[in-house]
Amino acid sequence: MDVITGKIEKMKPAFEKIAANAYVSAIRDGFIASMPIILFSSLFILVAYVPNAWGYHWPTNIENNIMIAYNYSMGLLALFVTATTAKNLTDTKNLNLPKTNQMNAVSIILASEIAFIISTIVQNKGGADLTYLGTQGLVTSYIVGLIVPNIYYFCIKNNVTIKMPPQVPQNISQTFKDVIPMFLSVTVFWAFSLLLAALTGKNLAQLIIALLAPIFSASDSYVGLAIIAGAMGFFWFVGVQGPSIVAPAVAAIEVTNTTANLKLIQAGQQATHVLAQNAQDYVMNMGGTGSTFILVFLFLFLAKSKQLRALGKASFIPVSFSVNEPILFGAPIIMNPIFFIPFVVTPMINICLFKFFITVLGMNGMMYTMPWVIPAPIGILVSTGFAPLAFVFVILSLVIDAFVWLPFMKVYDSQLLTEENKKAAEEGLAVDGVVADDADVSADSTVMATNSGEDETAETTDTDVKDSDTGTGFDKDTAVMVICAGGGTSGILANALNKTAKERNLPLSAAARAYGQDMNMIQDMDLVILAPQMESMKGNVQKITDKYGVKLATTSGKEYIELTRDPEKSLQFVKAHI
């Protein structure tokens, strides 16, 4: 196993390069930016169709009125994703240009949307068919959103622009500066669309769907689903945030399948597509990547070592809401050979079981998109429209997950217990082979013995010194941004900082963001803290912080979890890095 771990560690740099690639990041961050549209529109879907599960159907006119908001938000999703993808790539490429010669993001967004509409619109006698402006045009939106910024970049970098005399105001000069890049961007896709229609009779979106049909089909097979689920766990085990690599490759398929499932339900048929956004969130990643939902409760109730019991007690709430970094780094699970098999295999079992329930037993697949932080068992029930078989699936999957994780957890728990007893014996605190009751678990999850009252006094004095010293160094307004993968653990750390700053009346404020979300806020920060799961993105973030003169701090997994749990230590960490 050590040999395997060593080989996996050697692969890490390559995986980090993939995750940090500007184009992969633009696709991922562009899709993340559109999530409010998906979640917002799903509210109307829930109102319109969840009552059907209990036999109630809205009158047709009311149903149509409810669906207006959905049709003109989710129904135009690809158009919006074109803009967000182009914007994210533009921001990245602007880092490589002089501050006085930047690309105009607004102009790029407009050019991208025009090019996308030309590439996807279907003309008919009654007007225009908007079908491919929705989920079926997502892959096309990525293509357009990645090409247009490059056309602008070439023009701006090489001064292929209209130059106005210096007497002309800059806002007017910028308008003329954007004319040639916009003309080229739109013309390229216009000419290509005409050529494509003449040769194939299809537009770009239609052709892509036809070409990718086998991949869409394969992704819903047992093998395809297992590969997707296993890849997320594998990459995370290496130390690279798994979904950051896998999600961009399957996001378009997941959203398209969710929409297709809803249409099947509306037509009175079974929702047969398995791979969907919430299938990834709630089934593959039940309780976070690796399907750790049940594991934290095994730590809490069945572990004998103090470390795992304490970890389970401290982590069961965040893990229930799919924020599982506390156990990934706290146990740890990442790069721990004992947990490699269950961490990779459990998500594969869950998604294959989910497919079995859909294809063999006739359960409906996911037809709604709910926020990923909803506890997985609840999310599965809601996203499948409260299908009766979904209740059975939830119970069965939890039981199976427990049986998969339990033997490996026991092995690790036994090792920790042996180490705890050995350490306690060395310090004279072991009683009949059991760690004494007055031993405690420190913040870094190692067993520490509480000695005499003299030691406690010394500890208290040290804490008092820290407390009295904490305020010095925050003599001006200090803004901190914490960045993680999904905004979960970063939110915990930011909230701890804000709460402590308020209690002590310190001029400190903290904000939490997922990577790629509101990155323009960095320019107003004094310090950016990058979570360990985003280590692969350090280079990208460093470019932004360097551009604005903002300090960047990184942490190890164990240290990061300590900071989320220890407000005093988090303040000291901020103070040390500003």
Annotated catalytic sites, by residue?
484
Q: How far is CA 91 from CA 86, 99, 155, 188, in A?
A: 9, 12, 16, 22
315's tokens: 């982590």
431's tokens: 């009683």
Spell out the residues 6+ positions from residue 51 whose beta carbon is closer than 8 angstroms to its own: 57, 58
Cα–Cα distance measured from residue 461 to residue 468, given in angstroms and rounded to the nearest whole number: 11
The three state secondary structure string of 227-295 is HHHHHHHHHHHHCCCHHHHHHHHHHHHHHHHHHHHHHHHHCCCCCCCCCCHHHHHHHHCCCCCCCCHHH
* Length of the chain as a residue count: 578
Displacement of CA 371 from its chain's centroid (Å) = 11
Spell out the residues 6+ positions from residue 530 whose beta carbon is closer than 8 angstroms to its own: 483, 537, 538, 541, 552, 553, 554, 555
**Residue 77 near residue 37 (C-beta atoms within 8 A):** yes
102's tokens: 């930047």
Spell out the residues 6+ positions from residue 123 whose beta carbon is closer than 8 angstroms to its own: 129
Cα–Cα distance measured from residue 109 to residue 94, given in angstroms and rounded to the nearest whole number: 14
Displacement of CA 203 from its chain's centroid (Å) = 32
Could you tell me which of 372, 516, 539, 530 has the C-alpha nearest to residue 84? 516
